Copies of this chain bind each other. A is one copy, B any other.
Amino acid sequence: MAPDPTPPAARRSTRQRAAVLTVLDSEEAFRSAQEIHLELVRRGDAVGLSTVYRSLASMSASAEVDTLLRDDGETLYRRCRGVTHHHHLVCRGCGATVEVDGPTVERWAERVAADHGYDEVTHTLEVFGRCSACRG
C-alpha cells in the first residue's frame, strides 16, 4: 500500500479554539453556542460566532464535549469529566448537571432492539428534574 499522499490534516492550535475550551472548562452546566459566544465577548476574548459553532462541532465529533438537545431544538454543549459513555441528570432551573451511569439501561436498549430485529443500536437518555438548590 502506497504511503498516504495527504498527511493527516494537522489540527492547528489557535487562540479561538483555546478560548472556547476555557469557557467550557469554567462552566458546570450545559450551555448553548450563543451563550458561550456571549461569554467570550464579555471576557474580552471575542471569537466569531461561526468559529464558536465550528469549534463546538469538531469537539463534539471528537467526543471532547457532550451535546444535548433542549425541548425547543436548541443544542447545548458541556465539557464532560467522565470519558466513558454516560448520561445526564440535568436541573431544569439552573442547568446543574450530574453524570450518571446506567449499565442496566444500555443492556435493556440492546435487548429490546435485538428482539425486534434492529441492529446498529444507539440511544438517547436524559433525565430532567429540579435540584435541591432550586427548590428553596
Interface hit among A14-22, A45-53, A96-104: A96-104
A41 at the interface (CB under 8 A from B): no
Measured CA separation A43–B99 after assembly (Å) = 48
- Selected contact of A73 from candidates B69, B100, B104, B130, CB within 8 Å: B69
Q: Kindly supply a per-residue 1/0 record for chain A positions 112-136, scoring 1 wherever the CB is within 8 Å of any chain B CB and 0 otherwise.
A: 1100111111111111111110010
Complex contact A120–B112 (CB within 8 A):
no
A25 at the interface (CB under 8 A from B): no
A97 CB to closest chain B CB (Å) equals 10
A102 neighbours in B (Cβ, 8 Å): 108, 112
Q: A69-B69, A108-B102, A113-B89 are in contact. Are A123 and B125 (CB under 8 A)?
A: yes
